[in-house]
Amino acid sequence: MEVIILPDPQKAATLVARIVAREVRADPGLVLGLATGRTMERVYGELVELHRREGLDCSRCTTFNLDEYIGIPADHPGSYRRYMEDLLFSRMKIGRPCLPDGMAADLAGECRRYEAEIARAGGIGLQLLGLGADGHIGFNEPLSALRSRTREKALTPATLEQNAPMFGGDPAQVPRRAITMGVGTILDSRRCLMLVTGAAKAAILAQAVEGPITAMVTASALQLHPKCQVVVDVAASAGLKGVDYYRWVFANEPEWAGFQDLA
């Protein structure tokens, strides 16, 4: 795992978008795993900018979102399909955007179909991730099996609370269940890129990155991934012990030479 600390949330999101752009330019048919949440909004804004300014072309990419709520239609303002349409899919051409269908009559079958679809696409090349307040990735709530695959999951009261702003501020309006890629599905992607910003995430980020691997904090399973990079702002880095080393790596490793304007 590698941690990159940048001065503010905008620079952190810009780095993530620039990494995505570099990967898409190297492989125009890249299979991208996408994440939702407020943290990711800036990343999609930056990608759209790169499309406008520099002609970034994702028209041959397939994308797979991590998760979707169960029981709300795709055009519901709180659905992740709608989030993706509004922030990305309606603004630049994406070859084949895929999300799980939270309205499927056979939800277990839909989960199996989604896994098969990812496999048919050749697996995920680059997976974007946010971090939930309870340490979840996707909707893999505490005690999710670290080898889990795409399945239905009950959301924790803390998650309902965290996501209430997208449902008029009322946790009771947030769907109680979701379809989510499993931790095992996420770990199968060839590269993981997690974006975490803000002081409110500092303690849970430190547990995920520097704490023990535990199903209580499913993001900690990313420590097992051979290529996982975590991009954070200074506020989110406040609980980390290894800050000096992380900064040194970003300043010195050749991989980051083209990104020093963001430091």
Q: By the criterion CB under 6 A, which residues form the site for ligand GLP?
A: 35-39, 66-67, 130-132, 138-139, 159, 163
- Rg of the chain in Å (alpha carbons): 17
Q: Which of 46, 51, 67, 233 is catalytic?
A: 67
Q: Which is nearer to ligand GLP, 62 or 65 (CB)?
A: 65
Asked about 76 being catalytic, the answer comes back as no
Give least dist CB 40 to ligand GLP, A.
6
Asked about 54 being catalytic, the answer comes back as no
Q: Which of 46, 68, 115, 141 is catalytic?
A: 141
Give least dist CB 180 to ligand GLP, A.
7
Euclidean distance between CA atoms 101 and 117, whole angstroms = 13
Give least dist CB 57 to ligand GLP, A.
26
Asked about 134 being catalytic, the answer comes back as yes
Give least dist CB 243 to ligand GLP, A.
22
Q: Which is nearer to ligand GLP, 67 or 233 (CB)?
A: 67
Pairing mode of beta strands 228-233, 2-6: parallel
Count the Cβ atoms, other than its own, within 10 Å of residue 208.
27
Q: Which is nearer to ligand GLP, 125 or 130 (CB)?
A: 130
Euclidean distance between CA atoms 179 and 39, whole angstroms = 20
Asked about 136 being catalytic, the answer comes back as yes
Q: Which is nearer to ligand GLP, 4 or 131 (CB)?
A: 131
DSSP count for the chain of H helices, then E strands: 8, 10
Nearest CA to 66 out of 166, 137, 160, 164 is that of: 137
Q: Which of 101, 110, 115, 134 is catalytic?
A: 134
* DSSP-assigned letters across all residues of 22-87: HHHHH-TT-EEEE--SHHHHHHHHHHHHHHHHH---EEEEEEEESEEESSS-TTSTTSHHHHHIII
**Positions marked active-site:** 67, 134, 136, 141
